[in-house]
Chain A
Amino acid sequence: MRTTYLLSEISRDSKVFGGKATALKRLQEAGLRLPATLCISTEAYKQFVSGSSMQEKIQLELHRKKFSDMRWEEIWDAALRIRNLFLRQDLPEKLAREIGWAVEEHFSENPVVVRSSAPEEDAAATSFAGLHESFVNIRSTGPILEHVKLVWASLWSDRALLYRQELDLDFARSSMAVVVQELISGEVSGITFSINPADASEGVVEAVYGLNQGLVDGEVEPDRWVFHRKEETIKEHYTPRREKFMAPRGDDVILTGLPENKSLQPPLSPKEAAAIYRKAKQIENVFSKPQDVEWTRLGSDLFILQSRPVTARQDGDKDDKRGWYLSLQRSEDNLKKLRLKIEQVHLPAMKSEAAELAATDLETLPDKELAGELEHRQQVKEKWTAVYWEDFIPFAHGMRLFGKFYNDTVSPADPFEFVELLSNVPLLSKNRNKALRKIGAYVQQHPDLQQAIAAGGGSNITDVEFTRQMKEFISLYGDPFCGTYSDRTCDASRSELLNVIVQMARSSTTQEESRIGQETDKADLEAAFFARFTEGAKRARAESLLDLARASYRLRDDDNIVLGRVEEQFFRALQEGRRRLQENHVEGAADLDDSEVIRSLVDRNYKPGSKKQKKTPSGQDNRYMKARQLLGQPAGPGIGRGRARVIDSAKDLALFKKGEVLVCDAVDPNMTFVVPLAAGVVERRGGMLIHGAIIAREYGIACVTGVPDAAALIHTGDEVTVDGYLGIVTVGQKDSAVAL
Chain B
Amino acid sequence: MSIKGWYSPAAVPAIFVVNKMTNREQLQREIAELLLSQKLGVLATQSSEGSAYASLIAFAATDDLQKIVFATPKATRKFANIKHNPKVSLLIDDRSNNEKDFHDAQAITVMGVVDRIDDDASQSELASLYLSKHPYLEDFLRSPSTAFIIISVRSYYLVSRFQEVMELHIRDANDIPAL
Contact = CB atoms under 8 A, between A and B. Distances in A.
A625 B24 contact: yes
A629 B12 contact: no
B5 A172 contact: no
Interface string B165-179: 111111000000000
22 contacts: A53-B99, A63-B161, A64-B161, A72-B6, A560-B2, A564-B2, A567-B2, A617-B18, A621-B22, A622-B24, A624-B168, A625-B168, A626-B167, A629-B159, A629-B163, A629-B164, A631-B161, A648-B15, A665-B15, A685-B5, A708-B21, A709-B22
Size range of the interface on A?
Answer: 35 or more
B162 A60 contact: yes
Nearest to A630: B164
A484 B1 contact: yes
Interface of B: 1-8, 12-16, 18-19, 21-25, 27, 99-100, 102-104, 157, 159, 161-170
Interface centre among A560, A564, A629, A630 (most CB of B within 10 A): A629
Contacts of B21: 708-709
Contacts, number: 113
Nearest to A63: B103
Interface string A247-282: 000000000000000000000000000000000000
Contacts of A388: 3
A712 B6 contact: no
Contact of B4 (A623, A629, A666, A670): A666
A60 B103 contact: yes
Nearest to A65: B161
Contacts of B6: 71-72, 321
Given A63-B104, A684-B14, A712-B18, A625 B163 contact: no
A551 B5 CA distance: 22
Interface in A129-159: none
A625 B27 contact: yes
A709 B18 contact: yes
A728 interface: yes
Interface string A455-484: 000000000000000000000000000001
A55 B18 CA distance: 32
Contacts of A321: 6
**Which of B3, B7, B99, B169 has most chain A Cβ within 10 Å?**
B3
Contacts of B104: 59, 63
Contact of B14 (A622, A631, A665, A728): A665
A627 interface: yes
Given A621-B24, A623-B24, A59 B5 contact: no
Contacts of A485: 1
Interface string A19-57: 000000000000000000000000000000000010110
B19 to A, nearest CB: 6
A712 B100 contact: no
B18 A71 contact: no
Given A665-B13, A668-B1, A627 B167 contact: yes
Contacts of A102: none
Contacts of A581: none
Contacts of B25: 621
Given A484-B1, A625-B27, A666-B5, A60 B102 contact: yes
A385 interface: yes
Contacts of A567: 2
B166 A616 contact: no
A711 interface: yes
A615 interface: yes
Contacts of B159: 629
A713 interface: yes
Given A567-B2, A625-B168, A56 B99 contact: yes
A40 to B, nearest CB: 24
Q: A-B pairs with the 8 shortest C-beta distances? A: A629-B165, A63-B103, A628-B165, A56-B99, A59-B103, A626-B167, A625-B24, A711-B15
Contacts of A625: 22, 24, 27, 166-169
